[in-house]
Amino acid sequence: CGGLGLKTTDESTFLRPVYTICTACSGRRLNPIALAVRFRQYTIDQMVHLPVEDARRFFDGLRLDEREQRIGETLLKEIQDRLRFLDEVGLGYLNLDRRSNSLSGGEAQRIRLAACVGSRLQGVTYVLDEPSIGLHPRDNGRLIDALFALRDVGNPVVVVEHDRETMERADHIVDIGPG
């Protein structure tokens, strides 16, 4: 089940998408068997409704028994790393099930950055266009630290930015403009 049905209407000269909630799964995109599975106190559906910061606290506080460690230790580390990074770049308030088309440009860019950091790729040139837009000033330093982490594993990072703090911490500045 896709969770949402898509219909189109042609009441005007162009087609508009109209989303309807699936009656079988109530928009949760999981079958009844998957919805019945619990890990600790949460179902998958309940887990994805959590904000990043709450999910991070849950997974950081999680203690696995010996059997669970054999099965999920690597997965748990990956989840913790991604949630930590999302929280560190100022996205801790976002729910994990937030629709991508409802994100601001800055939020979407920081989510893509989190995916890049999580992949641990090396030798990739990252070009970011004003990643601090929409970011609370208290989170700016954490974003800059994340950019340095990308750089420190061998990736060139080019940032187009007007933020003073970002420019002051840059390795190099190229100023293009009048004068």
Query: Each residue of 1-27: pLDDT tens digit?
Result: 555 555 555 555 566 666 677 888 887
Q: What is the pLDDT of residue 169?
A: 92
**How many angstroms from the chain centroid is the CA of residue 91?**
7
Q: What is the pLDDT of residue 13?
A: 53
Do 88 and 142 meet the contact criterion of CB atoms below 8 Å apart? yes
Using CA atoms, how far apart are residues 112 and 63, in angstroms rounded to an integer?
Answer: 29
Q: Which helix (H) or strand (E) holds 53?
A: helix 52-60
Say how many residues make up the chain.
179
**What are 138's two structure tokens?**
């208290």
Q: 152-176 pLDDT, tens per residue?
A: 888 999 999 988 888 999 999 998 8
For the entire predicted model, the pTM comes to 0.68
Q: What is the pLDDT of residue 106?
A: 75
